[in-house]
Structure 1
Amino acid sequence: MSFDFDLFVIGGGSGGVRAARIAASQHGARVALAEESRMGGTCVIRGCVPKKLMIFASGAPAAAEEARGYGWSADAGRFDWPAFRGKLHAELSRLEGIYEGGLVAAGVTVHHARARVVDAHTVELADGRRFSAAHILIAVGGRPVRPDIPGAELGLISDDLFDLDRLPRRVLVVGGGFIACEYATILNGLGCAVTLVHRGDKALRGFDDELRGLVTRQLAGIGVTLQLDDSPTALSRNGEGVRVSFKAGPDADFDAVMFATGRAPFTAGLGLEETGVRLGPKGQILVDQWSQTAVPSIFAVGDVTDRVNLTPVAIREGHAFADTVFGAQPRCVDHALIASAVYTRPHELATIGLTEEEAGAKGPIEVYAASFRPMRSLFAGSEIRALMKLVVCETTRRVLGCHIFAPEAGEMIQLAAVAIGMKATKEDFDAAVAVHPTLAEELVTMRMPVRRAGPQPAPAPRAAQPAEA
């Protein structure tokens, strides 16, 4: 059977663009790609890139305070949001052009339109045009979701933040995940009065519990008002602002409410159910280790599969798909050991591998940890402490997890990920000569465990009690 293309990609984010470019430029495939919004997807346009630039911007007041601790007469001055926003959008447009230019240079046919799947080998664009393809790749990512409460439409999602005409004076951030923590940090640093409401007792569920506590306390320490063990139940308009009712706390007024309560795969309207592609309970596309769906010619990568929702993972999945299907180089992505970072300020949280709680449930472990005040911020008068933590298997001596709470922790975890991915032992870490004076040297100078842990034995069965007369 003759097809218009060897591959048709739906979605121009990081995973889809990488798959299309590699299939076309390195493996000679005839490729088309459809993207209904801006090229580059969530990471480039609405996520990682603008968020990190905003993190940099929000750190200026703290940098000025630290400079004063070193003897400088420094003040960050007034933040000019319109000027920053204009420069931000110019940078995003530049990056978008690079993404599309790379596709065109690789020979990919680009369609700026929404697309849907008609059958196992046919894609239809919003204008009605249809194209056949030997393989179809779905890489449409996810979208932020609002909670199902009255007035939720009055709240913002993270995508909206970059388009605000002015920053809100008082803002409520709803959620306790990494997006909520990062945006609470950003808005606080830019001069907003921030309240973070979270239904749990500390932020960042799923991360190492000790570091969760450190991040939660840091948010309070920089001036974010924490409203824990609570959640909003309704939003209503109050003049130009928003009144929020809470499950536990009293009603309160804010200039804006930002929901950071999770993301959902963007599969609605793609026609997947009619083709036999199976979806999970959150709408995610179910795939095997090769990113292949129940329909052999249809594949999916990135957040739309809800495996590990990180940009580098989507890129690796897209590249592996192209090499496997078009390059005769079969390989799949190991999702078990992936580093990540939460860009809070002044200290970031970075992690790879098992948490102390996860590792301890699997077998006997040793925990090595160093808590200290970093030289740079200590000299400037800061009391905040850093933490370096290694979780080690007591029997094999392998380092099962590394967790860092410190300035630029994301930069450090990238290098630790190489060693841990190579199955390094605690003794391998010990053999490295420290670079002094650095924060990272603590990872190779911890000699004695601070505690040991392991699976707890099941409680002994209670003795049978005699029946009462």
Structure 2
Amino acid sequence: MKFDYDLFVIGGGSGGVRAARVAAGETGAKVALAEESRMGGTCVIRGCVPKKLMVFASEYAEAMHEAVDYGWDVRIGGFDWTKFRTRLERELDRLEGVYNRLLQGSGVTTYAQRATVADAHTVELADGTRFTAKHILIATGGRPSLPDFENAGLGITSNEVFHLDELPKRLLIVGGGYIACEMACIFNGLGTEVTQFYRGAQILRGFDDEARGHIAEHMIRHGIAIHCGTNILSMEKGRDGIDVRATTGHSFTFDQVLFAVGRDPNTRGLGLENLGIEIGRRGEVVVDRYSQTAVPSIHAIGDVTNRVQLTPVAIREGMAFVETVFKGNPTAPDHDLIPSAVFTQPEYGSVGLTEEAAREQEPIEVYSTTFRPMHKSFIAREDRVLMKLIVSQATRKVLGVHIVADHAGEMIQLAGVAVKMGATKEDFDRTVAVHPTMSEELVTLKHPVRSA
């Protein structure tokens, strides 16, 4: 059978774009890609990139106060949200153009409309046009979840947060995951009065308990009102904003409510269930280790599979897909020991096991320290750094590294290389410290603080 395309990709995020580009550019495959929104997907348009730029913007207030204490004559004024937002939108437009040019340069045909799957080898666009493809790749990503209660529509999600008409003076953030905590720190840094509701006992569930507590203490010390064990009971439009009643019985009024309560895979209405493709409990496409669905001609990568929701992982999965399907080299994406960073203030970088997970697995030693870094202690700031190693008693391998500090994301990338290579505690000990730095503590931790 002759197909219109060798590969049709549904979704123009980082994973889908990379798979399309590599398949077309390196194997000569005839490739098409459909994206119903903006090219670049969540990371470039509604996630990592605009978020990190907002992180940068939010750090300047504290930096200016610190500059004064260091002797600089600095005038600390207000933050111009409109000026920042205009520049942000211009940057996102530029990046979207880069993505489009990269696809065009690789010979990929693009369609700026929604696509669904009609059968194992047929894709249908929103205008009714149908194309056949030897292989179909689902890379539709995820979307923010919204709670199901009356007037929840008064709030916004991370999709809208970058395009607010004005900076809210009073903001409620609902959720305790990394997106919620990052947004809390961002808006706090921009001058907003931030309140955070989380139904659990401590923010950042799933991360290392000691690191979670360290970050929460820092956020509270810098003025974020964290209410754990708390959720919204009701919300309605009031005269002075959005009136919220909490499950604790307290009432609040906010200018804006941001829901950051998780993300769901984008599989609604794609037609996958009709083909016998298994859809999981969260709406994810179920795939095997090679990203193949129950229909051999259809694969899925990225957040839509709900494996590891990180942009670099989606890109790796896209590359592995091309290796497997178009280069004849069966390659399963490696999801083990993935470094990650949470861009709270300070940042949290981690790789490997948490202390809690490691001690369930085997006997361990924990090497941990907290201290005021030189930069902060010189100007009498109370902010502290956390450095932590989780070590196997049997093999001496470093099972996990956890860093809470400014620029922890930069540090954990390099620590991730060592952990991925199987470095032992003694390998860390043999490495000469770089002085004076925060990161030298990782190679000078001589005695465990506890064993488990």
Q: Structure 1 length normalisation: TM-score? A: 0.95
Greater C-alpha radius of gyration: 1
Indicate the residue corresponding to 2:114 in structure 1: 114
Amino acid at match of 1:361: E
Indicate the residue corresponding to 1:7 in structure 2: 7
What is the DSSP-based 3-state SS (H/G/I as helix, E as strand, rest coil) of the residue aligned with 2:167?
Answer: coil
Q: CA shift at 1:239, angstroms?
A: 2.6
Q: 1:84 & 1:355 partners in 2: Cα distance? A: 37
User: Does structure 1 residue 161 correspond to structure 2 residue 161?
Assistant: yes
Indicate the residue corresponding to 1:371 in structure 2: 370
What is the DSSP-based 3-state SS (H/G/I as helix, E as strand, rest coil) of the residue aligned with 2:366?
Answer: strand
Is the Cα–Cα contact under 8 Å of residues 240 and 253 in structure 2 kept in the other structure?
A: no
Indicate the residue corresponding to 2:424 in structure 1: 425
Indicate the residue corresponding to 1:299 in structure 2: 299
The runs of 4+ residues in structure 1 deviating greater than 4 Å are none
Moved more, 409-418 or 223-232: 223-232
Q: 2:159 & 2:222 partners in 1: Cα distance? A: 24
Q: CA shift at 1:75, angstroms?
A: 3.3
Amino acid at match of 1:23: A
Amino acid at match of 1:108: V
User: Does structure 1 residue 92 correspond to structure 2 residue 68?
Assistant: no
Is the Cα–Cα contact under 8 Å of residues 174 and 198 in structure 1 kept in the other structure?
A: yes
**What is the percentage of aligned positions where both structures have the same residue?**
59
Indicate the residue corresponding to 2:32 in structure 1: 32
Q: CA shift at 1:186, angstroms?
A: 0.7
Amino acid at match of 1:413: I
Q: 2:51 & 2:66 partners in 1: Cα distance? A: 23
Indicate the residue corresponding to 1:396 in structure 2: 395
Is the Cα–Cα contact under 8 Å of residues 355 and 366 in structure 2 kept in the other structure?
A: yes
What is the DSSP-based 3-state SS (H/G/I as helix, E as strand, rest coil) of the residue aligned with 1:344?
Answer: coil
Q: 1:44 & 1:76 partners in 2: Cα distance? A: 31
**Which stretches in structure 1 are left out of the alignment for 5+ residues?**
454-469
Moved more, 119-128 or 192-201: 192-201
Amino acid at match of 1:274: N
List aligned pairs for 1:232-381, cutoff 5 A. Answer: 232-239=232-239, 241-345=241-345, 347-381=346-380
Moved more, 142-151 or 125-134: 142-151
Indicate the residue corresponding to 2:446 in structure 1: 447
Q: Structure 2 length normalisation: TM-score? A: 0.99
Is the Cα–Cα contact under 8 Å of residues 120 and 298 in structure 2 kept in the other structure?
A: yes
Indicate the residue corresponding to 2:434 in structure 1: 435
CA 355–2 in structure 1, closer or farther in 2 if over 3 Å, else same = same
Cα displacement string for residues 405-461 of structure 1 (whole angstroms, at most 9, x for unaligned residues): 1110000000001110011111111111111111111111111111100xxxxxxxx
- Taking only aligned residues, the RMSD between alpha carbons, in angstroms, comes to 0.8
Cα displacement string for residues 60-93 of structure 1 (whole angstroms, at most 9, x for unaligned residues): 1100111112111223311111110000000001
Count of aligned pairs between the two proteins: 452
Cα displacement string for residues 252-278 of structure 1 (whole angstroms, at most 9, x for unaligned residues): 111110000001001001001111111
Is the Cα–Cα contact under 8 Å of residues 352 and 417 in structure 1 kept in the other structure?
A: yes
Cα displacement string for residues 274-302 of structure 1 (whole angstroms, at most 9, x for unaligned residues): 11111001110000110000110000000
Moved more, 110-119 or 380-389: 380-389
Q: 1:62 & 1:249 partners in 2: Cα distance? A: 34
What is the DSSP-based 3-state SS (H/G/I as helix, E as strand, rest coil) of the residue aligned with 1:390?
Answer: strand
Amino acid at match of 1:391: I
Q: 1:264 & 1:34 partners in 2: Cα distance? A: 20
Is the Cα–Cα contact under 8 Å of residues 69 and 379 in structure 1 kept in the other structure?
A: no
Is the Cα–Cα contact under 8 Å of residues 362 and 392 in structure 2 kept in the other structure?
A: yes
Indicate the residue corresponding to 2:146 in structure 1: 146
Indicate the residue corresponding to 1:408 in structure 2: 407
Q: 1:141 & 1:4 partners in 2: Cα distance? A: 25
Is the Cα–Cα contact under 8 Å of residues 150 and 233 in structure 1 kept in the other structure?
A: no
Q: 1:396 & 1:385 partners in 2: Cα distance? A: 31
Is the Cα–Cα contact under 8 Å of residues 120 and 297 in structure 2 kept in the other structure?
A: yes
Amino acid at match of 2:21: R
Indicate the residue corresponding to 1:462 in structure 2: none
**Which stretches in structure 2 are left out of the alignment for 5+ residues?**
none
Is the Cα–Cα contact under 8 Å of residues 233 and 245 in structure 1 kept in the other structure?
A: yes
Q: CA shift at 1:240, angstroms?
A: 5.5
Is the Cα–Cα contact under 8 Å of residues 387 and 402 in structure 2 kept in the other structure?
A: yes
Q: 2:376 & 2:95 partners in 1: Cα distance? A: 34
Q: CA shift at 1:102, angstroms?
A: 0.4
Is the Cα–Cα contact under 8 Å of residues 65 and 75 in structure 1 kept in the other structure?
A: no
CA 298–435 in structure 1, closer or farther in 2 if over 3 Å, else same = same
CA 40–240 in structure 1, closer or farther in 2 if over 3 Å, else same = farther
Indicate the residue corresponding to 1:467 in structure 2: none
Is the Cα–Cα contact under 8 Å of residues 386 and 406 in structure 1 kept in the other structure?
A: yes
Is the Cα–Cα contact under 8 Å of residues 230 and 249 in structure 1 kept in the other structure?
A: no
Q: 1:160 & 1:435 partners in 2: Cα distance? A: 43
Cα displacement string for residues 301-339 of structure 1 (whole angstroms, at most 9, x for unaligned residues): 000000000111001101110111101222111212111
Amino acid at match of 1:408: H
